[in-house]
Amino acid sequence: MMTGFIFDLDGVLTDTAQLHFEAWQALGEKLGISIDQTFNEQLKGISRMDSLEKILKRGGQASDFTSEEKEQLAAEKNAHYVRLLEQLSPADLLPGVQDFLKAASAEKIPCSLASASKNAPIILEKLAIAHFFDAVVDPTTLTKGKPDPEIFLKAAEALGFEVHEVIGFEDAQAGIDGLKAAGIFAVGIDPRDKLKDVDRLVGSFEELSVDALVEELDQ
Ligand code: B16
Ligand code: MG
């Protein structure tokens, strides 16, 4: 059977969560809303606007802004985040990612990206892995974010595969829930062992072999 791979970006290929955190924290300070690492966990895999809504709710400011003002706040956070992305390089790939992508490419396994990030194309370029991807789902085309399965269904379709022919890699519970709702074999990349309902749980790509995984899907 032919197999395709679907990758999440933040927390799977690289860890941009820290940079999102820094940028949200700066905006939070301006608004008088404190954001800590524990709260930041809730923002993983969630779109920019949904993240802002969660932050405003935390500060009891959910109804204090018009939608234009919210757009402005989100744009301000993003401009800061994009500045922080300038420091990103291939050294920021998570352990085992480079070898895993190379092995998938050697086996001619098509790969697509299912990231909520509108900055995904820049990040792939910065990490020098854009050439490994046959498709990148454009998150602006989505009607619902993760945990809705939409992004993963689009990622499989973009490769021309049925859901039972692909394997998805995710680090956030919202992503795992979306993969399972789509009917896709879900691999959790989770050094802290917190994800639930995964088909396979590993700490990093160093624990995975492309061949063994494809065999596991075939069974
Ligand atoms: P942007 P993923 C997600 O990436 C991040 O985990 C999440 O924190 C962020 O808000 C979202 O992308 C949108 O990012 O502001 O760059 O469009 O995990 O789906 O790769
Ligand atoms: Mg993620």
Of the three residues 25, 59, 85, the one that is the final residue of a domain is 85
Domain residues for the domain of 70 are 17-85
Active site (annotated) includes residue 8 = yes
The residue count for the chain: 219
3-state secondary structure 69-94: HHHHHHHHHHHHHHHHHCCCCHHHEC
Same-domain pairing of 45 and 111: no
45 lines ligand 1 (CB under 6 A): yes
Same-domain pairing of 98 and 205: yes
Are the C-beta atoms of 167 and 213 separated by less than 8 Å? yes
CATH number (domain holding residue 198): 3.40.50.1000
Count how many domains the chain has. Answer: 2
Q: Atom 13 of ligand 1 has which residue's CA nearest to it? A: 117
**Atom number of ligand 1 nearest to Cα 45:** 6
Residue 82 Ramachandran class (φ > 0 left, ψ -120 to 50 alpha, else beta): alpha
CATH number (domain holding residue 50): 1.10.150.240
CA distance 10 to 13: 6
Please give the chain's pLDDT, 219 residues, in tens.
Answer: 789 999 999 999 999 999 999 999 999 999 999 999 999 988 988 899 999 999 999 999 999 999 999 999 999 999 999 999 999 999 999 999 999 999 999 999 999 999 999 999 999 999 999 999 999 999 999 999 999 999 999 999 999 999 999 999 999 999 999 999 999 999 999 988 889 999 999 999 999 999 999 998 888
Same-domain pairing of 10 and 23: no
Same-domain pairing of 50 and 141: no
Q: For residue 99, which amino acid is it?
A: D
